Amino acid sequence: MTKAFSSLIGCHNRKYSLQGGNDASKIMSRCLRVAVVGAGAAGLCAAQHVLSRQNTFSPPVVYELTNQVGGTWVYEERVGSHDNSQSIHSSMYRNLRTNLPKEVMMFPDFPFDQHLPSFLPHQEVLHYLERYSQQYGITPHIQFETKVEEVKPVTMEMEEGKVTWEVTSSGGQHGWRTETFDAVFVCSGHYSDPHLPSIPGLENFKGTLLHSHSYRCPESFAGQSVVVLGAGASGLDISIELAGVQAQVTLSHGRPPLRFPLPPQVQQAPPVSRVLEDGAVQFVDGGVARPQVLLLCTGYNLSFPFLGGAALGLQTICPFLHFHTQVQFALAVLEGVVSLPSPAEMEEEVRREMERNMAEGVEPRHLLKMDSAQWGYYQTLARMGGFRPPPPVTQSLYEEVWRQRQNHPQKYRQLNYRLISDIEWEVLEVQPEREVNWERGIETER
Ligand SMILES: Cc1cc2nc3c(=O)[nH]c(=O)nc-3n(C[C@H](O)[C@H](O)[C@H](O)COP(=O)(O)OP(=O)(O)OC[C@H]3O[C@@H](n4cnc5c(N)ncnc54)[C@H](O)[C@@H]3O)c2cc1C
Ligand SMILES: NC(=O)c1ccc[n+]([C@@H]2O[C@H](COP(=O)([O-])OP(=O)(O)OC[C@H]3O[C@@H](n4cnc5c(N)ncnc54)[C@H](OP(=O)(O)O)[C@@H]3O)[C@@H](O)[C@H]2O)c1
């Protein structure tokens, strides 16, 4: 249960009694003030649900570093930093299409446009989030170009056990300032700070070295030899893109050999062990390659600089559904619908769960991955928080797409699905393989 607080860092239980008159100022004086850090999908979801409970919450204050909503889904051609020297947040690349169908990916209360195919180019997801922000009246509550610098708990001396939160921000209309809130939703994302594995001799590498955070499009690698390190979603998807421009790809990873069909330009190799003095890349089995490019698709660090080192965030989940469920649970806690155990009991439960998982062989770096555990977790949160759990059809279609992706990584996006009911989905027609220039809106059949 403690996992619910991966994104809600500050709360206290407060029972509401609106009896004794409904004078607006009295009600307002009892309303909780909530801050939201970030206006990506999670932050917008938090803001929407806060706004929908106006009897118990004041309108949220949403802090957003950039000048627009969407976070990850804001494609930025540049790499490195913006003109104002702020690091580029999004790891989006030009041809990316969603790896979940829109029927699973959507917020359950806000479907995508029914005319769209199931697997969407990133532009459509951004458009969806912009519509969400407009439709629910969130945009006026966002302080754009405002960076949260510090989030700090303050213990109230007069009220035992009560904690409020000071949020210090910079930029925007107000410059540096500190505001106080009853709770803070941390929605700043965790796919921006590249994880760079320590590879002995890496400084000897003489070719182009980059992380997938800075990868934008395959054309600049046409015909080149590329070692892609890591076979997560980025490593696999980018390898397939590179094969499409006749790059010779060595997909180096520590998983059991991938058995599904890969393009002939993609060969597999075990992980990189070191870079030799002459710049050659050596693999753990002793094999050697001399690639022109070393592309690290090695994932991201959980990084929350404004929290003084705390690490939050669950992985391998169905993101928008996860936000939708966690946010409602967190608000139920704040509303007093759910009573939490003491912090000591929650810490103890986390410790026991970590120990159990490690005893079962889960690597420490994978302890925050949920995989199939996410479905039971959502049911538990919904039951405790008294809201509607995700319908069974979401899990069923998610698992079907997972299987399709494992077996046909190059083709699974050609399928279209339709939800028939809370428990049933169907496959629509199979799309011919298409080459899409999304920038210019041109599609041609291959
Ligand atoms: C390459 C890639 C492809 C993906 N593909 C899919 C997919 O197909 N389907 C899917 O469901 N999910 C996908 N995801 C997962 C994706 O991260 C989630 O869908 C979702 O967008 C995450 O939303 P978020 O709000 O948690 O974070 P983000 O989208 O990262 O938003 C965080 C926001 O917080 C702001 N911010 C950060 N720090 C501060 C600060 N200090 N002060 C103020 N504001 C701050 C940022 O500017 C940003 O706007 C993908 C992720 C990546 C990296
Ligand atoms: N829509 C899409 O098509 C799409 C495309 C790209 C990304 N995404 C999303 O973006 C998010 C991030 O994905 P990601 O692939 O960038 O990160 P990721 O899921 O964290 O995967 C990183 C991979 O790198 C491996 N790795 C790390 N260090 C390594 C090393 N030294 N040697 C070999 N392998 C190493 C990891 O192996 P271990 O597992 O052993 O740690 C892991 O498999 C995910 O949510 C993903 O779904 C979506």
Q: Which of 72, 30, 69, 37 is nearest to 53 (CA)?
A: 30
Q: Are strands 288-289 and 293-296 parallel, antiparallel or unpaired?
A: unpaired
**Cα-to-chain-centroid distance, residue 326:** 13
**Separation in Å, CA 177 to CA 61, 167, 168:** 13, 8, 6
Pocket test for ligand 2, best of 72, 119, 234 (most atoms within 8 A of CB): 234
- At residue 434, the pLDDT reads 52
Kindly report the number of other CB atoms within 10 A of residue 119's CB atom: 21
What is d(CA 249, CA 418) in angstroms, rounded to the nearest whole number? 36
Query: How many angstroms separate the alpha carbon of residue 226 from the centre of ligand 2?
Result: 17
- Smallest-distance ligand from the CA of 238: 2
- Name every protein residue with a CB atom under 6 angstroms from any ligand 1 atom: 37-43, 63-66, 71-73, 89, 91-92, 96, 98-100, 105, 147-148, 187-189, 191, 306, 319-320
What is d(CA 128, CA 375) in angstroms, rounded to the nearest whole number? 25
Query: How many angstroms separate the alpha carbon of residue 357 from the centre of ligand 2?
Result: 21
- At residue 313, the pLDDT reads 75
- At residue 84, the pLDDT reads 83
**Cα-to-chain-centroid distance, residue 144:** 20
Which of ligand 2's atoms lies nearest the C-alpha of 199?
31
- Smallest-distance ligand from the CA of 125: 1
- At residue 320, the pLDDT reads 98
Q: What are phi and psi of 128, to 5 degrees?
A: -60, -45
- At residue 200, the pLDDT reads 98
Which element (helix H / strand E) includes 399?
Answer: helix 392-407
Instruction: Identify whether the C-beta of residue 104 lies closer than 8 Å to the C-beta of residue 401.
Output: yes
Instruction: Identify whether the C-beta of residue 124 lies closer than 8 Å to the C-beta of residue 438.
Output: no
Residue nearest atom 33 in ligand 1 by C-alpha distance: 38
Instruction: Identify whether the C-beta of residue 129 lies closer than 8 Å to the C-beta of residue 113.
Output: no
What does pTM read for this prediction? 0.92
Mean pLDDT per 10-residue section of the chain, whose length is 446 residues: 37 31 42 97 98 97 97 96 90 98 98 97 98 98 97 80 91 95 97 97 98 98 98 97 98 96 96 98 98 98 88 84 98 96 93 94 90 95 97 97 94 96 91 47 39
**Separation in Å, CA 401 to CA 206, 319, 389:** 40, 15, 21
Place of tokens 């893109």: 241
Instruction: Identify whether the C-beta of residue 190 lies closer than 8 Å to the C-beta of residue 313.
Output: yes
Task: Answer yes or no: is the C-beta of 230 below 6 A from any ligand 2 atom.
Answer: yes
Residue nearest atom 21 in ligand 2 by C-alpha distance: 232
Query: How many angstroms separate the alpha carbon of residue 315 from the centre of ligand 1?
Result: 12
- Smallest-distance ligand from the CA of 90: 1
Could you tell me which residues are beta bridge partners of residue 293?
208, 226
**What angle in degrees, to the nearest 10, is found between the helix axes of 319-334 and 373-385?**
30
Q: Which domains does the chain have, with CATH numbers?
A: 8-192+301-392 (3.50.50.60), 202-296 (3.50.50.60)
Instruction: Identify whether the C-beta of residue 87 lies closer than 8 Å to the C-beta of residue 79.
Output: no
Q: Give the count of alpha carbons within 13 A of 112, CB side only.
A: 26
Could you tell me which residues are beta bridge partners of residue 225?
248
Alpha helices in 52-157 (DSSP H): 102-105, 122-135
**Sign of the dihedral defined by the CA atoms of residues 79, 94, 63, 45, in that order:** negative
Task: Answer yes or no: is the C-beta of 171 below 6 A from any ligand 2 atom.
Answer: no
